[in-house]
Structures are given as C-alpha cells and as structure tokens.
Amino acid sequence: MIKDLLYLELFGKAFVPKKLRPQLRDYLYKAGITEVPYKFFGGLFWVTLVVTYFIYFSTIFRPLSKYGAFAVLIFTFISWFLIQSLMVVLVIFSVYFYLNIRIYNRVLNMEKHLPDYLTLVSNNLKGGLSFEKSLWLAIKSEFGVLAKEMTLASKRVLTGNDVKDSLLILSQKYDSPSLKRSLNLIIGELEAGGQIAKVMDKIVDNLKKTSALKQEMAAATVTYTIFMVAIVLFITPALFALAQQLLQIIIGVTKTISASGTGSNSPISSIGQSSIDPKDFKTFSIIAIGIISAFSSMIISIISKGDIRGGIKYIPLFIIIGITLFLMVSNALGGFFGGIG
C-alpha cells in the first residue's frame, strides 16, 4: 500500500532513461539480478529527498534567512539540487561498486567450474551423444553460476537458435579471458567440423595448467604479502601510537619547564605552546591508518591475485584491526609513559 502511494516504480522508471534500460538490464543480469529494480530507484529518490530536507533546514536555511526572499529561493533551489544530486551519485556509485564485486565473484565461480563442466561434455561426446545434448546433460547444480548460464544457452539451442550463436553470446557476456578463449576455440572447431572432444580435452588441460600457475604465483608472493600485512596491521599503528605519546610527553615536559620559570626565554619552551593538539593528532592517525589499510589491501590483492577487486572484502577487516591496535597500543603506552608527561 505504501509503495503504491509513493509511486516507487513510476519514479524509478522516470529517472532511468529508456536508452539506458537495455544496458542496465544486461549489467544487472551479469550480477545475478534478473529484473531492473525500478522500485529501488524510486525509493532512492524519496530517501535522498528526506535526508536533503533535514540537511538543508539544519545547516543551510538559517544563514540564508537574513537575505531577501528571492535570494533565499535561488539559493534553496541550488543547494537542494546539489545536495540531493550528490547523495544520489554516492549511493549509485556504492551500488555500482557492490555489483562490480558481485560480477567479479560470479566470474571466478564460472572459471573455477569450467574445466569440470567441459570434461563432462567431452565424456558425453565420446559416448556418442550430440553436441547440443552433451551440453545439456553435463549441467550439474554444483557448477553454480556456470550451470545457470549453460542452462540458458542450452534453452536457446532447444528453442531453435544456433548453438554457435548461443555460445558466442555467453563468451561476450562476461569479462573473462579464459571463458572467452575456451568458448571461441569450441565455436571455431564447430565451424571447422573437427573433433570437438579432443579440442575440449586440450582446453581442459590448458585451464588446469593455468590454474596451477596462478596458484604457484600466489604462493611465490606469500612473503611479500605477509611483510605488507605486518607493516599495515602492526608496525604502522604502533608508530602512530608512539608518535602521539611522544607529542604528549614533549608538550607536558616543556609546559613544566615553562611553569618553573627557569627556561621561560628558552626556545624549547615554545614547543609547549605548539599548535598541534594531541587529540587532533589522534584523529589524523585514525584517518591515516584507515586510508593506508584500504589501499594496502588493494595492493596485496593485486600482488596475490592479479586483480584489485579480490581485496575489496578485506578493507573493513584491515581498517578495524589497524585502528583497534592503534587504540590499544596508544592506551598501553599512555599508561607506561603517564608519569613522564
């Protein structure tokens, strides 16, 4: 009832141009979403509208109230448009980021099960079955995403579409070099009329060798990965915590010297009046550790997996561990050096 009153689907379709809908539908399908969530886009409009309302009247309206009505109207329109547009862009970017990671994981799942699937197809062909029937009978539920995609391709073939066209659509659907190369080789062999079973066996051997090489490369970079993890999660928080305690000690000692009157004209007494606030330095340290942890997880992913998207899931873990260790070490050092400051 509430959805009908808010016209979520109507607003969602209004904000998605018709020219972009086919591309959006294809992109969402790659992520495993079969229908365009127009209600989500409509709900996004209403949520950002309410948030913009509170932001505007709590921070912007009061400074503008001293101006004339026309100026207030102009500034209200501009600020309202900018705030809501910025929030929509941030949400859409976050959703796009999430979908991109989801597509990446689906591609990895397909590449993982591709050798086993092609092995079953090859065995079916050797048993005397046709290529189309071999594709269909080789589909197993444990193949996950690949099973769904091959089911869709097989259904296209059963409804009258050419098998080569169906496989070509699948090869162009995902950004997977191994999947594209394998399917293109199969399509080429179908066009040439050769022995597809032997080609599939060679493809399976190459896929397994490639997978083994990737595992060896990942194992060879374990030392670098451990080194970077140690720096990011342990050394960096400890150094920031030590720097914070040294700052507090220096400020405390110089203030004591200044209060005693023995060194009021000494240059060192000016350090106690430093503009650096330990609380501000603590905030800076937390932000810096968060940024370093985020980018380090991406670098580690590139080193170990060859793709930045593989390390996105570790960013929250790295940030939480880094900041937690910083606070723990800072408190421990504060208790140890408390008497000095």
Q: What is the pLDDT of residues 263-311, one digit of tens each?
A: 555 555 555 455 677 888 889 999 999 999 988 888 888 887 777 777 7
Please report, as a single letter, which amino acid is at residue 40. Answer: F
Residue 341 lies in a domain: no
Residues 77, 114, single domain; the answer is no
- Domain closes at, from 213, 245, 266: 213
Provide the pLDDT for residue 289: 92
Residues 287, 317, single domain; the answer is yes
Q: What is the pLDDT of residues 8-22, one digit of tens each?
A: 777 777 777 888 888
Which residue did the predictor score with more confidence, 206 or 2? 206
Domain that holds residue 258: 221-336
Q: What is the pLDDT of residues 309-323, one digit of tens each?
A: 777 778 888 999 999
Distance CA 16, CA 88 (A): 13
Residue 314 lies in a domain: yes
Residues 125, 178, single domain; the answer is yes
User: How many domains does the chain contain in total?
Assistant: 3
Q: Residue 32: helix, strand or coil by DSSP?
A: coil
Is residue 113 within 8 A of residue 146, CB to CB? The reply is: yes
327: exposed, middle or buried (C-beta count within 10 Å: 0-12, 13-18, 19+)?
A: middle
Q: What is the pLDDT of residues 154-169, one digit of tens each?
A: 888 878 778 888 888 8
- Domain closes at, from 78, 105, 132: 105
- Domain closes at, from 87, 105, 123: 105
Q: Is 60 exceeded by the pLDDT of residue 66?
A: yes
Residues 197, 244, single domain; the answer is no
Residues 68, 168, single domain; the answer is no
Alpha helices in the chain (DSSP H): 2-6, 8-14, 21-30, 38-55, 61-64, 69-126, 131-137, 145-158, 163-173, 177-192, 196-220, 222-230, 236-260, 278-305, 315-336
DSSP 264-278: TTSGGGGGGG-S--H
Residues 166, 244, single domain; the answer is no
- What does pTM read for this prediction? 0.72
Provide the pLDDT for residue 239: 92
Residue 256 lies in a domain: yes
175: exposed, middle or buried (C-beta count within 10 Å: 0-12, 13-18, 19+)?
A: exposed
Residues 242, 205, single domain; the answer is no
Residue 284 lies in a domain: yes
Residue 307 lies in a domain: yes
Provide the pLDDT for residue 324: 92
Residue 310 lies in a domain: yes
Mean of pLDDT values over 82-92: 88
